A and B are shown apart, each in its own frame.
Chain A
Amino acid sequence: MSVLVYTENWDGSFKKLSCELISFAVKLAEEMQTDVAALSIGNVEAEELEKLGQYGVKRILTAQNGELSQFDPQTYAKAITQVADKEQASLIVMADNNTGKALAPRLSVRMKAAVASGVSHMPDTLSPFVIKTKTFSGNAFAVTELPTDVKILTIAQNSFDLKKNPAEVTVEDAGIDTSGLRPKAAVKEVEKQTDKLLLTDAEIVVSAGRGMKTPENWGPIEELASLLNGATACSRPVSDEGWRPHEEHTGQTGKIIAPNVYFAIGISGATQHLAGVSGSKYIIAINNDKEAPIFDAAQYGIVGDASRILPRLVDALKKAKSA
C-alpha cells in the first residue's frame, strides 16, 4: 500500500500545482500511515526534483525514456500502470488539468480503479474511502465512495495549501519497460504560449464582461491585471464578439479556473459563467445592477459604473503599491 503522485513538468520545471499535489499526497499518506512516491516523466534536473522534496516527498521515481517524450495518454497509462503495480500503489494522485483528465480515465480501466475527479477536499473517511467531488458545475458535491483496491484522485488546482515539510530526497529510475510504448499519433506542430502568464496558473484573475460596452474600454482591466501580477479573462459573449481572445473565455464552455482572487467586472454572473469560476477563493464583483447574481457569489462588491470606478481603483492600487 502506498501513494503514487504523478507530477507533470513543463519543459523541465514544476509548477505550484505540482507542489500542491505533493502537499496533498503527503498529508493523505500520513493519515493512511503509508509512504509517498512521486513519478516524474521527462528530463528534469536534480535541483528541480529536489523542489518537490520541500513539500515532504522522500522518493522520486524518474523516467527519461525517449518513447515517453511525447505525451500520449495510451502509452502513458501503460507506463504509469507499470510503476503503480511495482509500487503496490493503492492511491494514485494527479492534477485535474488537461493531462490528468486524459490519463486518469485510461488508468482507471487499466487498473480497475475508481476515479474521483476534481477533488478539492480531503476524504470524509478513509475506510470506506469516501470523498467529495464537484458535480452539476459546482452547484453540488457528490459524496462518493471509491470501493476498489486502487483509487485515482485528480486534484483541483488551488484547493490545497502548500505545506513546507523539507525531506531528504532519493531519486531512482522508475524502471519502466518502454518496449511497445511508441505513440501511434504523430505530432506535426507544437505551438507554445510562453510569454504570458497562463490564465490557469494565475493567482489573481481580472475578468470583464459585456458591461464594459466596447473592446476599447479594456485598458483599465489590463492595467489592473498587470498591477496585481494577474491574468485577464472574460465572459463568453465578449470572446464570441471577438472583443477578447478565445483563450480568455471562462465558464462552463470555456476555461475552468480556481484562482485565489477573481475580479468579475461588468459580468452578470450567469450559472454557466459561474460554473467556470466558482472554485475561486475570493470573488470581487463590480456591477451597476445591485440585483446581478454575481453578488450572490462574491465576497466583496461595488454597485456602480465600472467606467467610473476602475480608474480610481487603479490609482488606489498604484498608491498602495508604492506605499
Chain B
Amino acid sequence: MNILVCISHVPDTTTKIKFAENNTRLDTTGIQWVINPWDELSLTRALELKEKSGSGVQKVSVAHVGPSSAEPTIRKALAIGADDAYRVDVEALDSYQVAAQLAEIVKAGSFDMILCGIESSDYNGSNVGGMLAEFLDYVSVSGISHLDIEGGEILVTRELDGGREKLVVPSPFVGIVQKGIAKEPRIAAMRGIMMARKKPVHLVDATEAGPLTRVKEFEPPQPRPACKFVDPENPEQLVELLQNEAKVI
C-alpha cells in the first residue's frame, strides 16, 4: 500500500499578516513558512502506519503544488521521513486548481490512500481534499480523527457535529484529517536531514486546469471597539453591562 500526503506550505501562524500592492497580494517579506500543521500531522500518521508491522504500507510520498520557493518545505517533509516527493511547478491559485494538479499526480501513480489536512491555515478553504476526491471519483471521508490499518482493513473515525462514526473504507480513498490524527508532529532528526538530500523530488508539469475563483483584494477585519474595563472590585457591573448594554444574557 502506498500513501500520498498532500502538503501545503503556509505562513507560520504567529506571523503578522500584511498585504502589498494595494492589498491585492500577501506581503511575503519576513514570513516564516512552515508545513501546514494538519499536513504535518497527516505525514506523521502515515509514517507511523508504515512502521506498524503488518500494515502493508510500503511507501509514503508527499505532493505539493507551488513554485520552487517551497523546496525547503518539501525537503523538511522528506527529512521527517517521506520516501519521495512530487512538486507541480505552478503557482497555487485556488483550491480547485491545486486539486486538479494533484489529481494528475494520483492518476499517474499508484496510491491507495491520499491524505489531506482539513484546512490550510492561510486560505482556510478546507476544500482541496474533497475536490481531489471528486476529480478522481474516489471515496472521501472528512474530519478524520483516527486512522488505522488492521488485518488489511482501513479503519477511520470521523467526527460529526455531535458524535463520531467508525468506518471501514475501501482503497483507494481520500482522507481529510483533523485533530487527533497524531499526537505531536514528528520532527526531523539529523540523520533524516542528511538522507533527505538524496531523496527524489519529482518535478511535474502543470496541467491546464485553472482556478475557479479570483481574489480581488484582501481586507482587514473590522477593528473591534476598544475593550471596556470593569473594576475587579465590582464584578457585578459586568453582569449589569451584559444584561443592559450588550443585552446578551
Chain A interfacial positions (CB closer than 8 Å to B): 10, 71-74, 77, 97-99, 101-110, 112-118, 130, 132-148, 183-194, 198, 200-201, 204, 228, 246, 249, 252-254, 260-261, 271-272, 275, 278, 281-285, 295-305, 308-309, 312-313, 316-317, 320
Q: With A102-B140, A139-B221 in contact, is A189–B166 under 8 Å at CB?
A: yes
- Does A143 contact B165, Cβ atoms closer than 8 Å? no
B204 shortest CB reach to chain A, Å: 20
- How many B residues, CB 8 Å from partner? 78
The 9 A-B residue pairs with the shortest CB-CB distance, nearest first, are: A105-B130, A304-B232, A102-B142, A109-B134, A114-B212, A105-B127, A192-B163, A189-B166, A316-B236
Complex alpha-carbon distance, A139 and B243, angstroms: 29
- Does B166 contact A184, Cβ atoms closer than 8 Å? no
Complex alpha-carbon distance, A295 and B14, angstroms: 17
Q: With A108-B96, A190-B165 in contact, is A309–B235 under 8 Å at CB?
A: yes
- Does A143 contact B13, Cβ atoms closer than 8 Å? no
Q: With A105-B95, A135-B122 in contact, is A191–B140 under 8 Å at CB?
A: no
- Does B166 contact A299, Cβ atoms closer than 8 Å? no
Chain B interfacial positions (CB closer than 8 Å to A): 11, 13-14, 17, 19, 37-38, 95-96, 99, 118, 121-131, 133-135, 137-143, 155, 158-170, 173, 176, 179-180, 212-221, 224-225, 227-232, 235-236, 238-239, 241-243, 246, 248-249
* Subset of 29 A-B contacts with CB under 8 Å: A10-B162, A74-B134, A74-B139, A102-B140, A104-B127, A105-B99, A105-B133, A108-B96, A114-B212, A135-B218, A137-B121, A145-B214, A145-B215, A147-B212, A148-B212, A183-B139, A188-B165, A188-B166, A194-B162, A253-B37, A261-B248, A275-B13, A282-B242, A284-B238, A295-B227, A298-B227, A299-B227, A302-B229, A313-B236
Choose among A72, A74, A140, A189 the residue that contacts B17 (Cβ–Cβ < 8 A).
A140
Choose among B212, B220, B231 the residue that contacts A113 (Cβ–Cβ < 8 A).
B212
- Which residues on A sit within 8 Å (CB–CB) of B164? 190-191
- Does A140 contact B220, Cβ atoms closer than 8 Å? yes
Choose among B128, B163, B170, B231 the residue that contacts A190 (Cβ–Cβ < 8 A).
B163
Complex alpha-carbon distance, A147 and B249, angstroms: 42
- Does A106 contact B161, Cβ atoms closer than 8 Å? no
- Does B249 contact A204, Cβ atoms closer than 8 Å? yes
- Known: A187-B165, A282-B246, A295-B227; 14 extra A-B contacts, CB below 8 A, are A77-B134, A101-B118, A109-B96, A115-B95, A117-B124, A117-B125, A136-B124, A145-B214, A184-B170, A192-B162, A194-B163, A201-B162, A302-B229, A316-B236
